[in-house]
Structure 1
Amino acid sequence: MAPTWNDSLKIGIPLIDFQHQQLFDQMDLLIDNLEKQRSPQQLKSTIKFLEMYINNHFKYEESCMNLYKCPVAKTNHKAHQLFVLNFEMIKTRIEQDDDFNSIIFSIKQDLRDWFINHIKSIDTQLKPCLPHKNNG
C-alpha cells in the first residue's frame, strides 16, 4: 500500500507536518493490519498509539492556534472533536470484531480522507498567523 502522506499536505510548520505524517503512517498501518488480519494484539497496539498521538497532536495544534490567534481556532477544535468521535466509533467496531472490510472503508473515508481535507482547508490557515521571523 502506498503511503497516504505526501508533500502536498505540508502546511510549512515542521513539527505539525511531522505529526501529520506520523498520523497518516499510523492510519495506513491500521488499515494494513486489518487487511492482513493481524493479531488482536497488533491491532490494539496500533489503536493505542493512534489514540495517544491524536490527543497529543490535537492539543498541540490547538494551543498553537490559540497562541497565535488563528481565526479558525474554534472551527479547528470542533473538527478535532468530530474526528475523535469517529475514531472512537471505529475503535469500538474493531473491538467488537465488526466486518473488517466495512471498518477499512470507514477508516479511509471518516479518518484518512477527512484528515486530508481538514489539513488542506483548516490547518493551512495557521501558518499566516505565525510571527514572521527575519532570516536575513
Structure 2
Amino acid sequence: MRTWNDSLKIGIPLLDCQHEQLLDQMDQLLEAMESQKGEQELRAIMGFLKMYINNHFNYEESCMALYKCPVACNNKDAHAKFLITLQDINHKIELKQSLELIVTQVKQELLDWFVNHIKSIDTRLQSYVKKSE
C-alpha cells in the first residue's frame, strides 16, 4: 500500500517531492519488515531515511524561517521528537527486537505521525510562501 497521495500536497513542489519520497521510503521499510527481509535491506532503508529526513527537516525549517511562518518553532520541536523516534526504531532494529512490534511503532509513530504533521503544520507554510511572491 502506498501512503502518499495528492491530498498531502502542500503546493510547494520541492517539499511535496521530499514528502512523497520520505513516505515511500517508510512504506518500503514497513514492507521489508512485514515480509521479513534481511537485516542488510532494513539497514539500507534506515540509513537512507536518517540521511534524507535530516536534509528535508533542515530545508523545511529554513523555509519556515525565511517566510516567517508562525508555526516554525512548533515545526522544529516536532521534527526533534520525530528524530528521537527514528533513532529508537533504528536501535530496536539493530538489537534485532521483534519486527512485529517495530512494525506497529513505524505505522503509528513514523507514517501516521508524518501524514498528520504534513496536514497540520506543513500546510501552514503555503500561505506564507504565496504572500511573499
Question: TM-score, with normalisation over the residues of structure 1?
Answer: 0.95
Does 2:93 match 1:125? no
Aligned counterparts of 1:51 and 1:98: Cα–Cα separation in 2: 19
Secondary structure in 1 matching 2:119: helix
Q: Deviation digits for residues 65-103 of structure 1, max 9, x if unmatched?
A: 001100000000000000000110011001111110110
Q: 1:109 aligns to what? A: 108
Q: Which runs of 5+ in 1 are unaligned?
A: none
Q: Which runs of 5+ in 2 are unaligned?
A: none
Does 2:91 match 1:92? yes
Aligned counterparts of 2:83 and 2:14: Cα–Cα separation in 1: 21
Task: Quote the sequence identity (%).
Answer: 54
**Structure whose residues are more often helix by fraction:** 2
Does 2:10 match 1:8? no
Q: 2:45 aligns to what? A: 46
Aligned counterparts of 1:120 and 1:11: Cα–Cα separation in 2: 8
Contact 2:33/2:99, CA 8 A, preserved across alignment: yes
Over the residues paired in the alignment, what is the CA RMSD in angstroms?
0.8
**1:37 offset after TM fit, Å?**
1.1
Q: Which amino acid aligns with 1:9?
A: L
Aligned counterparts of 2:37 and 2:15: Cα–Cα separation in 1: 30
Q: Deviation digits for residues 15-71 of structure 1, max 9, x if unmatched?
A: 000000000000000001111111111111100000000000000000000011000
User: How many residues get paired?
Assistant: 132
